[in-house]
Structure 1
Amino acid sequence: MATDYDEPRVKAEDQPANESLEAIQVQRSATSQAPTIDVDEGEITDAFDLPGEILDEELIISVIPARADEFTCMSCVLVKHRTQLAREKNGYEYCAECEG
């Protein structure tokens, strides 16, 4: 037997045709109330532990500028050696991995 997926799922005998809009809205609002769950926010944050130890220290990172024999690929945004340069278009450089 073939199934007509466009056919409405509510049968005509389930819902009378002369029922008013207000009665339908009251019936839907009475049945569609979601239960509320009282959760303490402290319980939520206590459940998640980050890996490793977190210290109250400031991270010190030294940034080294790109060297003369390096370039930044505009596709993967990684610093690569000039030997990996595949093409240069409109001043933007792309590595062989992104072009391959």
Structure 2
Amino acid sequence: MATDYDSPRKTDDDLGEDSLQELQARRTDKAASTIDIDETDLAESLELPGADLSNEELSLRVIPRQADEFTCSSCFLVHHRSQLASDRDGRQICRECAA
């Protein structure tokens, strides 16, 4: 949006002169531009934490730790050897935990 910097600007006195009707019209214009969302559709698509998942069956393939990976003794996550920060007394620490 282009701005004409040469046009006269409103002063504090001019701002107080806006009529009540103009202000109400601006408010209704802004309210009309909001989007109405059907909350029933939204509620059906969300799953709440603690929902009953006893009938659900999960299938997940677990890959064992590879030869070039280690388990951090601080955060217990499996990382690649390139993330190894220190290996003292058999305790392997990743770079994130060492920082």
TM-score when scaled to structure 2? 0.44
TM-score (norm 1): 0.44
The structure with the greater share of residues assigned to helix is 2
